[in-house]
C-alpha cells in the first residue's frame, strides 16, 4: 500500500452548505430573533447563531457541543453563512434561555418539578408554520404522550422504571413535535396533565391550528383530561382503565365481531358506559380482545383473553376502524426513538431540568426542520428519500468532499462527486 498526501484545502461535509443556505433563505435568523430577542450589539453571537451551530453539529453526526471544537471547527470554517462559536458559548447561551422550573406538591406530598418554556414552544410552532408543515385554518390529528428519558443528571429523580431521568410530555401532529413540557422522572403522568394539555391546545388555537381528532394512552384517562380534550377537539380516543363496574359491563357482551387488524386477529364490540362514577355523562367504549398466548386466565373476566378498551365520543366509526385508528398512535414511538438516537435526547448536555428543556426544544426544532428539508430535497434528488433516518441522510447527502473556487470575483462550490447535487438548486 502506497500513501500520498495533499495540502489542497478540501473539506468533507459539502452537504452542510445546502442546509445553511436553506436556513438563511427561510429567514430563520430573523424569526428566531423576533421570539428570543437580540443580544447586545457588542455580542459576537446571536441566539440564531447558537441554534444553527447546534443543528449543524447534529447534521454532521456530532452529539455534543464539544464536537465543534475537537472535530468540526475546520470543517465548519468554509460553510456558507456560519458564525462558529465555541462549545462554552453554545452551552452558556442555552442556559440564558432557560426559565425557572416550577415545583408542585401532590396530594401524596410528592414534589413534582415541571419545566416549561413557552417562548421556545411558540418559536417551534412558528417554524412549522413558516415551512408550511402546518397551515393555519386547517384541522389535524393530535397525539400526546409522556416519554421517560433515562439520565444520570444532578437533579434527575427515579421514575416508575426504577431509573433516574426525566419524563417530558410531548404533543405531536403527524411526524412533527408541536409542544413539549419537561418534568422530573418521579412525576406521575396524570398529575396536572390537564393543565399541560390546556396550554398546548391554547397555543395551537392562537395560531389557527384546529384539532379534529385527539389520541392518548391510559396515562390521560382522567376526568379532567377528558374534559379538556373534549373541549378542544371534535373527536377523541383515549385508552381506558379497567374497573370492576366496567368489567361487569364487558362481561355482559354476547356478540363479538372477529377482525384482523394488521397481522393480529381480534374480537371487537362496543358498550356504553358512564366513567368516573358519574351518572349524567356516558361514552362509547370500543373493547377489543385477543387470545392470551400464555394460556393464563384473566382474573377480572375469568377467561383467557386480553381485553383493552378505548373511550371515545365518535359514534360514526366502526369498532374495527376505531381500534385501527387508535393503534396508529404507535408512530409516536418512532418519533421518540429518533429524538433519543438521532437528535440528542439520549445524551442531554446539562445537569438541570430547565436547561435540558431548552436543548430538547432546540433539537426538536432541528428534527422538524430536517423533515421539511429532506421532503423538499427528495422531490428533486433521486438518491434521497423522505423516509431516511438522519444517519443515512448524512452518509448519502451531507458527506461529500468540496472546496470553494474563486474566479472572476465569484465563488463556486466544487463538489467531488458524480451525484446530481445541482438538482437541489432547481
Q: Residue 303 has what pLDDT?
A: 79
Whether 77 contacts 85, CB under 8 Å = no
Enumerate the CATH 3.90.350.10 domain ranges in the chain, comma separated: 102-347
Q: Residue 380 has what pLDDT?
A: 96
Q: Residue 247 has what pLDDT?
A: 83
pTM: 0.94
For 243, residues 6+ apart whose C-beta sits below 8 A from its C-beta are none
| Phi and psi torsions of 396, nearest 5° | -80, -30
Distance (Å, whole) CA 271 – CA 237: 15
Q: Give residue-wise pLDDT tens across range 228-256.
A: 999 999 999 999 987 778 888 888 888 89
Distance (Å, whole) CA 324 – CA 318: 10
Distance (Å, whole) CA 236 – CA 189: 19
Q: Which three cell numbers stand for residue 165?
A: 431521568
Query: Grid cell 374495527 — which residue?
Result: 320
From 214, 165, 208, select the one nearest 186 (Cα to Cα): 165
Q: Residue 50 has what pLDDT?
A: 97
272 Cα distance to chain centroid: 34
Q: Residue 113 has what pLDDT?
A: 96
Q: Residue 241 has what pLDDT?
A: 86
Q: Which residues of the chain have pLDDT under 70?
A: 278-280, 295, 298-301
Whether 358 contacts 94, CB under 8 Å = yes
CATH superfamily to which 102-347 belongs = Transposase Inhibitor Protein From Tn5; Chain A, domain 1 (3.90.350.10)
Distance (Å, whole) CA 301 – CA 289: 11
Q: Give residue-wise pLDDT tens across range 93-115.
A: 999 999 999 999 998 898 999 99
Query: Grid cell 462554552 — which residue?
Result: 88
Amino acid at each position: 500500500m502506497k500513501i500520498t498526501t495533499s495540502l489542497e484545502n478540501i473539506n468533507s461535509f459539502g452537504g452542510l452548505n445546502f442546509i445553511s443556505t436553506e436556513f438563511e433563505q427561510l429567514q430563520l435568523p430573523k424569526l428566531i430573533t423576533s421570539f428570543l430577542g437580540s443580544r447586545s450589539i457588542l455580542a459576537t453571537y446571536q441566539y440564531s447563531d447558537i441554534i444553527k451551530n447546534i443543528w449543524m453539529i447534529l447534521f454532521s453526526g456530532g452529539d455534543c457541543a464539544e464536537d465543534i471544537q475537537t472535530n468540526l471547527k475546520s470543517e465548519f470554517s468554509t460553510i456558507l453563512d456560519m458564525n462558529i462559536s465555541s462549545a462554552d458559548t453554545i452551552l452558556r447561551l442555552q442556559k440564558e434561555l432557560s426559565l425557572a422550573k416550577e415545583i408542585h406538591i401532590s396530594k401524596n406530598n410528592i414534589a413534582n418539578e415541571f419545566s416549561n418554556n413557552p417562548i421556545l414552544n411558540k418559536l417551534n410552532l412558528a417554524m412549522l408554520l413558516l415551512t408550511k408543515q402546518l397551515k393555519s385554518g386547517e384541522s389535524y390529528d393530535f397525539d400526546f404522550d409522556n416519554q421517560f428519558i433515562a439520565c444520570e443528571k444532578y437533579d434527575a429523580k427515579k421514575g416508575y422504571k426504577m431509573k433516574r431521568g426525566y419524563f417530558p410530555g410531548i404533543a405531536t401532529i403527524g411526524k412533527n413535535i408541536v409542544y413539549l413540557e419537561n418534568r422530573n422522572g418521579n412525576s406521575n403522568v396524570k398529575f396536572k396533565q390537564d393543565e399541560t394539555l390546556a396550554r398546548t391546545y391554547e397555543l395551537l388555537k392562537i395560531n389557527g391550528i384546529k384539532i379534529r381528532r385527539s389520541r392518548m394512552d391510559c396515562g390521560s384517562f382522567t376526568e379532567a383530561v377528558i374534559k379538556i380534550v373534549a373541549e378542544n377537539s371534535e373527536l377523541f380516543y383515549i385508552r381506558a382503565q379497567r374497573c370492576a363496574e366496567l368489567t361487569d359491563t364487558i362481561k355482559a357482551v354476547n356478540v363479538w365481531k372477529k377482525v384482523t387488524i394488521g397481522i393480529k386477529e381480534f374480537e371487537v364490540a362496543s358498550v356504553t358506559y358512564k366513567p368516573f362514577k358519574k351518572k349524567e355523562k356516558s361514552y362509547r367504549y370500543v373493547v377489543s380482545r385477543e387470545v392470551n398466548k400464555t394460556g393464563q386466565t384473566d382474573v377480572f373476566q375469568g377467561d383467557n383473553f386480553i381485553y383493552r378498551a378505548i373511550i371515545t365520543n365518535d359514534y360514526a366509526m366502526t369498532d374495527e376502524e376505531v381500534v385501527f385508528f387508535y393503534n396508529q398512535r404507535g408512530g409516536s414511538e418512532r418519533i421518540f426513538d429518533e429524538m433519543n438516537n438521532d437528535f440528542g435526547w439520549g445524551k442531554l448536555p446539562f445537569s438541570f431540568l430547565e436547561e435540558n428543556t431548552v436543548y430538547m426544544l432546540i433539537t426538536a426544532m432541528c428534527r422538524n426542520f430536517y423533515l421539511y428539508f429532506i421532503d423538499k430535497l427528495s422531490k428533486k434528488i433521486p438518491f434521497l428519500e423522505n423516509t431516511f433516518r438522519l444517519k443515512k441522510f448524512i452518509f448519502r447527502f451531507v458527506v461529500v468532499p468540496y472546496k470553494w473556487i474563486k474566479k472572476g470575483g465569484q465563488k463556486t462550490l466544487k463538489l467531488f462527486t458524480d451525484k446530481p447535487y445541482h438538482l437541489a438548486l432547481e
